[in-house]
Structure 1
Amino acid sequence: MEKPKVLVFGNFGYNHNELCGQTVKTRNVYELLKNKETRYFSEVAFFDTDSLNTNRLGLFQGLYHVIKADELFYLPATKNLAYIFPFIFILSKLFSTKIHFIVLGGWLGEYLENRPLYRKMFLKIDWIYPETDALCQCLESDFGLKKVKRLNNFRDTNFSPALKSTGKNIKLVFMARVHPLKGVETLFKLSQRLEGSNLKNVTIDMYGPIFEEYKEEFNALLNTANKNITYRGVLQPNEIYPVLSQYDMMLFPTQYYTEGFPGSILDAYISGTPVIASNWLYAPEFVDHTSGAVVDFNDENAFLNKVIELVNKPLLIDSLKQGARAKSYEFSSDKAWEVIKSCLFFNKQ
């Protein structure tokens, strides 16, 4: 049988060099499939929806690629799903393109709830890959979807340096989109609490792209902040693991309840950095007492208290670093490929 042509359709962020959870995952899926091209596929192409921000007519080129593909790996956010997916769905049925819908985050169940037309289309998608068991169960039990298989967020890396023991100076890190819903303002309150508790040995560094509409407010917070908290810009992909491995704990006080599996937490685990997180919808699937700590959702005081508790227990932090590294092995590219390979259409022939 002739090897299939594959298309990865989603936001790669190449047009604006945008690095976020969505673009990193989309690039990782493409790289995984591209690495298998010679053996399994005749071609692995991609279409970057970021290009549509400067060239709307480019969508016709993207849809043409859909027609030519045998297997489509589709990674949309909500806007893409609302405006582009109906065209992709119709073309996939007309030209026998198999759709592999890779879910970004944990919002899909909520999105489908009041959209009966989309639910009907989703019943005819070839495979749907959520990041969490809870969302898999939701899609199967609430919407009757049959072709659902969990696909963990993953990384292709061999990074595995010796873990750094926690010293007298404790370094905390936040790496995500700088947005109020990511709990950024909790970090500034933590800075004040550390200062008030006379914990002069603890610092907080923030990395990530700043949400455009939040820049003015965020800069105002920085201008009046204590010296123990610093914004350090955006890390490039080759910088992430060497930088994160220098920190003792990652802070993830998200206020976005339907997070999926944030890539920053996976990056922390690979770097041997435990995570303190608020209890978003899927948090217990990814963070536990062996790899960090989870505190009640939207309980800012509980989050601050947990951080203070842990910075006073460096030996416990060292133990959590071991647990974080062990946790990372669940999210390898090899395991992701096992899931995808089992669902490829040509394997069923």
Structure 2
Amino acid sequence: MPNVGLIDKLLNVMNKPKVLVFGNFNYSTNNLCGQTVKTRNVYQLLKSKENQYFSEVVYFDTDSLNSNKLGLFQGLYHVIKADELFYLPATKNLTYIFPFVFILSKLFSAKIHFVVVGGWLGEFLQSRPIYRFMISKVHHIYPETDALCNCLTMDYGFNKVKRLNNFRDTNFSPVQSATGNRIRLVFMARVHPLKGVETLFKLSQRLNKLNLENVSIDIYGPILEDYKEEFNKLLNTANKYITYRGVLQPNEIYQVLSQYDIMLFPTQFYTEGFPGSILDAYISGIPVIASNWLYASEFIDHTSGAIVEFNNVDDFINKVLMLIENPEKIDALKQGARAKSHEFSSDKAWEIIKSITFPIKQ
């Protein structure tokens, strides 16, 4: 007699899809940025559903191609074997690798879930009709913002678009306390001139002129290689208000950020998506002061921080100084920041992915 229970289990596994997450994990150097963190989070979320919803969840790290170009064949082999492909490209990946991924997905019936990191896709597609055609044929597209969703549906006519917020899987709960005599400001992102790093140094100069002794600015994040020399010069000539603290590891972020009062985000990248550092700030219970990049108003409001005129250094500095002078306003914003974080949970992300991957049959 055949083992009916074993046969049922085998059939159950066979009916569950095999998942591939294809993107930049950067496990070789552990250089964390918005791209790598989101790619890892998507993988970890799907991996947590293995056995229950999927027969297997595997990944291919495109960062490995920097040291082994032939490794692309391994990645494409994974595409052939996958049923559901969660694809998180940056522009280089999309330009040179996606055409191969797309063709193989059609030949071997893999459903591509295009998870967008950042807000650049609409601009990328403007003069690329072949890419517009290919992306119009993927199973689903998941932008981070309503504005990009509208761009893809209204401007390009894509009809399988669903917003998927940037998210974190964490139970961290900050201890809320009133802002003390010392106000601690923090920047956490790539240390890159277009992230507005030099605005921080100009802020420190203003603090020095005003002789505000109760304020500090700490910088965390990987330094752009081509910017290291210039950044070190700025540090060497900076005053006592500003300090570079290195790179935080994922298990350190919330505990460290929760010790600060305000996150500074003076970005000059107009097409930012939803920067992970802002989400990390909300989870840590601190508000965000940001320049008005393309999607800023979707993520920051008067309850969780403040938005200032894009690329206006004086406006940014004046807003920070106003809050320093009114610490009770910072305390109110801390409450709003923590409340805002609940919109970006892994549970809500899974609800969206599950609804697309396993639609309810009518």
Instruction: Give the superposition deviation at 1:348.
Output: 5.5
Task: Decide which of 176, 182, 193 is 2:189's aligned counterpart.
Answer: 176
User: Distance in 2 between the 1:164 and 1:13 partners?
Assistant: 36
User: Distance in 1 between the 2:19 and 2:183 partners?
Assistant: 46
1:5 aligns with 2:18: yes
Tell me the SS of whatever aligns to 2:102.
helix
Cα deviation 1:37-62 (Å, max 9, x = unaligned): 12000000000001111011000000
1:249 maps to what in 2?
262
Larger radius of gyration: 2
After the TM superposition, which residues 133-282 of structure 1 pair with which residues of structure 2 at under 5 Å, given as runs?
A: 133-282=146-295
2:299 maps to what in 1?
286
Cα deviation 1:165-184 (Å, max 9, x = unaligned): 20010000000000000000
Contact kept, 8 Å, 1:71 with 1:345, in 2: the verdict is: no
Deviating beyond 4 angstroms after TM superposition, the runs of 4 or more aligned structure 1 residues are 345-349
Instruction: Give the superposition deviation at 1:18.
Output: 1.1
Instruction: Give the superposition deviation at 1:161.
Output: 2.4
Instruction: Give the superposition deviation at 1:331.
Output: 0.1
User: Distance in 2 between the 1:161 and 1:272 partners?
Assistant: 6
User: Distance in 1 between the 2:205 and 2:361 partners?
Assistant: 59
- The TM-score normalised by the length of structure 2 is 0.95
After the TM superposition, which residues 300-339 of structure 1 pair with which residues of structure 2 at under 5 Å, given as runs?
A: 300-339=313-352
Contact kept, 8 Å, 1:205 with 1:232, in 2: the verdict is: yes
Moved more, 28-37 or 156-165: 156-165
Instruction: Give the superposition deviation at 1:122.
Output: 1.1
Instruction: Give the superposition deviation at 1:164.
Output: 2.6
1:79 maps to what in 2?
92
Cα deviation 1:82-111 (Å, max 9, x = unaligned): 000000000000000000000000000000
Moved more, 61-70 or 191-200: 191-200
Q: Letter of the 1:340 partner, please give it.
A: I
2:309 maps to what in 1?
296
Instruction: Give the superposition deviation at 1:347.
Output: 5.7
1:15 aligns with 2:28: yes
2:130 maps to what in 1?
117
Structure 2 vs 1, CA of residues 169 and 330 (structure 1 numbering), >3 Å: closer, same or farther?
Answer: same
Contact kept, 8 Å, 1:257 with 1:281, in 2: the verdict is: yes
1:42 aligns with 2:67: no
Gap runs ≥5 in structure 2: 1-11
Instruction: Give the superposition deviation at 1:346.
Output: 7.1
Instruction: Give the superposition deviation at 1:16.
Output: 1.2
User: Distance in 1 between the 2:176 and 2:79 partners?
Assistant: 45
2:121 maps to what in 1?
108
1:126 aligns with 2:136: no
Q: Letter of the 2:148 partner, please give it.
A: L
Contact kept, 8 Å, 1:206 with 1:233, in 2: the verdict is: yes
Contact kept, 8 Å, 1:132 with 1:260, in 2: the verdict is: yes
Identity of aligned residues (%): 77
Gap runs ≥5 in structure 1: none
2:4 maps to what in 1?
none
Cα deviation 1:159-211 (Å, max 9, x = unaligned): 00221320010000000000000000000000000111111110000000000
Contact kept, 8 Å, 1:98 with 1:345, in 2: the verdict is: no
User: Distance in 1 between the 2:136 and 2:337 partners?
Assistant: 37
